[in-house]
């Protein structure tokens, strides 16, 4: 098959290899990019694409606030689920459980609440400031688990369930809390993966922000993306933004390329703009290739600085949770 190149489609002058085979000439690169063959369309690869944050732990936790359910995801693909009851903002001195990417930063088998009448909290694992997983005395609260929010902010669980999660999850275990809308997911890095270059805290924050920014702007395939394991210490107690209030784009932009299958009789010395790519000049063997310039150049937020990207795509908009001091008896 041959291709007619319109003058509006930039194809760099490139020498054709002297061997047979398939070669790709990238619409947006300044040379032959035959090592990066693209055979899929935006629709093939873009549906539901989210930003993956990688962990080196053996499990991570997904808190579905809308389902009142906690999912424990394991490296081997196993998923365990536990009914929970989250924060009810309509109670006195309470807050609603909020979305974000968090990490367990403390573990305590028996904690006494300093805000709520020294209430006993067993296997306490805070991840969002003072909010964490725990059980309470008795079983009277079990009726709300998996059904409705009923706490002042923490995530209530059954005794055996929270004890197991406490045992399974080391400090730094990631917690992805959401209500069914999130532009981030968590994935497992290879067990033998080692970072070649260590990242500073600011570098890690920027990479987390930039990765989400590129997903939401539709630039996943046309931007540089560094694979790294997130350090839980980078995640603030207020959490990291997960794009819960943004709609994922219907498609991600991809590089536009021309594929040429070369046979020895077809080989010419150079490809130049406007020429037929093989010796067959008949119009029935030619095809016009069109690329929408506006599609690749339009980007409302392309001029954001690194500081602005971190502010918009790393910092969790929920901010600092309110503090309710103990009531005087």
pLDDT mean values, one per 10 residues, the chain (329 residues): 36 51 49 45 68 97 98 98 95 88 96 77 94 95 96 94 98 97 96 88 96 93 89 96 93 70 55 47 42 48 83 85 62
Nearby residues of 279 by Cβ (< 8 Å), 6 or more positions away:
265, 266, 268
pLDDT given at position 36: 44
Distance CA 151, CA 134 (A): 11
Q: Which of 9, 23, 74, 103 is nearest to 291 (CA)?
A: 9
Can you list the pairs that 76-84 forms with residues at least 24 positions away whose Cβ atoms lie under 8 Å?
82/157, 82/158, 82/161, 82/162, 82/165, 83/145, 83/146, 83/147, 83/157, 83/158, 83/161, 84/133, 84/145, 84/146, 84/155, 84/156, 84/157
Does domain 51-249+305-313 fall into CATH 2.40.440.10? yes
Structure tokens at 47: 């549906």
Q: Which pLDDT belongs to residue 283? A: 42
Residue-wise pLDDT tens digits, 214-225: 999 999 888 888
Q: What is the pLDDT of residue 134?
A: 97
The per-residue pLDDT for 32 is 41
What global pTM score does this model have? Answer: 0.75
């Amino acid at each position: 098959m041959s291709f007619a190149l319109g003058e509006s489609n930039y194809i760099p002058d490139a020498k054709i290899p002297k061997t047979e085979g398939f070669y790709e000439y990238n619409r947006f690169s300044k040379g032959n990019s035959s090592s990066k063959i693209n055979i899929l369309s935006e629709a093939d690869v873009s549906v539901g694409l989210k930003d993956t944050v990688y962990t080196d732990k053996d499990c991570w936790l997904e808190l579905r606030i809308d389902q009142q359910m906690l999912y424990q995801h394991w490296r081997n693909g196993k998923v365990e689920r536990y009914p929970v009851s989250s924060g009810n903002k309509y109670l006195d001195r309470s807050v609603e459980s909020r979305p974000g990417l968090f990490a367990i930063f403390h573990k305590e088998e028996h904690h006494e609440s300093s805000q709520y009448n020294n209430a006993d909290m067993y296997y306490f694992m805070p991840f969002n400031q003072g909010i964490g997983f725990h059980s309470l005395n008795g079983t009277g609260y079990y009726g709300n688990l998996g059904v409705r929010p009923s706490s002042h902010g923490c995530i209530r669980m059954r005794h055996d369930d929270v004890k197991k999660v406490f045992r399974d999850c080391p400090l730094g275990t990631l917690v992805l809390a959401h209500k069914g809308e999130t532009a981030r997911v968590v994935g497992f890095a290879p067990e033998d993966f080692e970072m070649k270059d260590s990242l500073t805290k600011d570098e890690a924050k920027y990479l987390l922000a930039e990765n989400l920014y590129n997903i939401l702007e539709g630039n996943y395939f046309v931007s540089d993306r560094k694979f790294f394991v997130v350090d839980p210490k980078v995640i603030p107690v207020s959490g990291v933004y997960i794009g819960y209030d943004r709609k994922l784009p219907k498609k991600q932009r991809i590089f536009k390329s021309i594929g040429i299958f070369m046979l020895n009789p077809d080989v010419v010395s150079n490809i130049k703009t406007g020429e037929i790519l093989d010796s067959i000049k008949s119009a029935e063997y030619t095809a016009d290739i069109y690329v929408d310039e506006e599609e690749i150049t339009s980007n409302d937020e392309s001029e954001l600085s690194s500081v602005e990207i971190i502010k918009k795509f790393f910092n969790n908009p929920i901010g600092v949770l309110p503090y309710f001091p103990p009531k005087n008896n």
